[in-house]
Amino acid sequence: MDVTSPGPLAPAVLDRADVRAALSEHDFAAFFALVKKWGGLSQNRIAVACGLTPGKVSTIISGRQRVTSFDVVCRISDGLRVPGHLLGLAPRTWENRPTEPQRPAQHPTDDVPWRADVTVTMAADLTRSDFVMDRRAITRALTGATLTGGALLDSLEGWLRPAATCVRPARRGRLGAREVDELEDIARMCRHWSRSDGSLRRQVVLGLLNEVAAALDEHQAPHIETRLYGIMAQLAGSAASMAWDSGSERRAQDYYRLALRAAHAGRDLVFGANVLAGMARQMLYRDRADDALQLVHLAQEGARQVVGPRVRAMLHSREAWAYAGQGRPAGFRRAIGRAEEALADAGPGDGEPYWIAYFDTAELAGVTGGGLLDLARQDPGGYAPAAAAEFRRALSVLGPEAGRSHAIDRALLAECHFLVGDVTSGAAETHRAVDAARTAPSGRVRNQLKTLYPYTVGHRAAWSARDGIRELLSR
């Protein structure tokens, strides 16, 4: 079927109120069932049109699995010719360009091929949908459960393979080195923004990301194209951090995956490793240490030959944190030792990217403290004092100007005190954490304060601290 032929669904099916309601709510179990009933399509035909397996379609219809992948939503729209506005998406290319040849159907997999042109399309769709998608659809379908286990890790295997060939865009691009220099400066500023929470700034980042995607949809000079993919990777990484900080964890994961694909297309293995480390950190916050460790190992495998000592130290620190989350103190100590050795080899002007400059002895102390705290939750007396010492080391360097990092380390230090029964010190540190949180609005900081709340219950010395947490979280 080409785009000049009708879609598999009659217009009357898409005009039904129950079909439109299912689409607006991203209730694909109901939608597929209605397509079978009123559209006369079998599960096999739905699967072929959408690039899914028949078994996958069956699990969706039965309600055993929900569609939460943005990529799959787009493929359903394209495969069944569902206009974008019915799904809260921007208009699809086949709606606007009736003479454009249809792309070949993808293999039945939840992943999209690692081709540069597909990465551009993903960036355009993802950013446009953030601007136009109905808020309920985003909340229900895109900010829910993150991908974990095989669903996540299998989708990232393309990181280790060369990029697939793609058809060159027909339109000519005119960007020169000066414009790309300016875009790189802006991307650098956006990475600084990503350390703070701000919806307006996030909209700016998404707008820039969409503009870069538009530029890449044209035929740029090869060296310009490579740099543009690097800019896309950095902007997507910033968007991921901002989405995560605002509580949209699934959306953050979508942008992390886009950032990894863009780094892959731009042949920036070092930044790609950094993206995987960011995804690992997200898994660690969700107590998914096994997934985090595999993500770190994927980063190390793909970029081992090109990373400098500071990036290598950062990756070892995330590896150590994952070992701690698994309850493996020997593995934790071994990986932390490697991180310390690598960081000792790093120096000023060593040619590493600007974005890794943050990883210094204070940052390593904070990560070390986090790993020890994970172990302390199982053995408070054995690890909590050491964790507290590491957090104090970090806080001696990272003052309130560090914003989110300072507030989180304060909250983690308070937990160390509570774990060993020092309620007075724990309450005092909780007060400091709350004060820091007031000047560093962040979803991650708020979540950290939520973990402190149970420790304050039943202790008169912690009543005031508990009131401070309650007051802050009620905003």
Taking only the tens place, the pLDDT of each residue in 116-165 is: 878 888 888 888 777 655 444 444 444 456 777 777 777 787 888 877 66
* Alpha helices per DSSP H over 172-268: 177-193, 199-216, 222-245, 249-265
Taking only the tens place, the pLDDT of each residue in 429-458 is: 999 999 999 887 788 888 889 889 899 888
Helix 222-245 with 177-193: angle, nearest 10 deg: 10
Give the model's pLDDT for residue 417.
96
**Which run of H or E residues covers position 451?**
helix 443-456
Joined tokens for residue 96: 């606007």
Give the model's pLDDT for residue 84.
85
Give the model's pLDDT for residue 309.
96
The Cα–Cα gap between 210 and 120 comes to 9
Between CA 359 and CA 366, with CA 363 as vertex, the angle to 5 degrees is: 155
Give the model's pLDDT for residue 196.
55
* Alpha helices per DSSP H over 286-403: 289-303, 309-325, 329-345, 361-376, 380-397
The Cα–Cα gap between 279 and 322 comes to 12
In the block, which residue shows the tokens 């601007």? 131
Flag residues of the chain having pLDDT under 50.
Answer: 1-6, 98-111, 134-143, 197
Joined tokens for residue 186: 């802006």
What is the distance of C-alpha 5 from the center of its chain? 38
What is the three-class DSSP state of 164?
strand
Phi and psi angles of residue 137, each rounded to the nearest 5 degrees, phi first: -65, -40
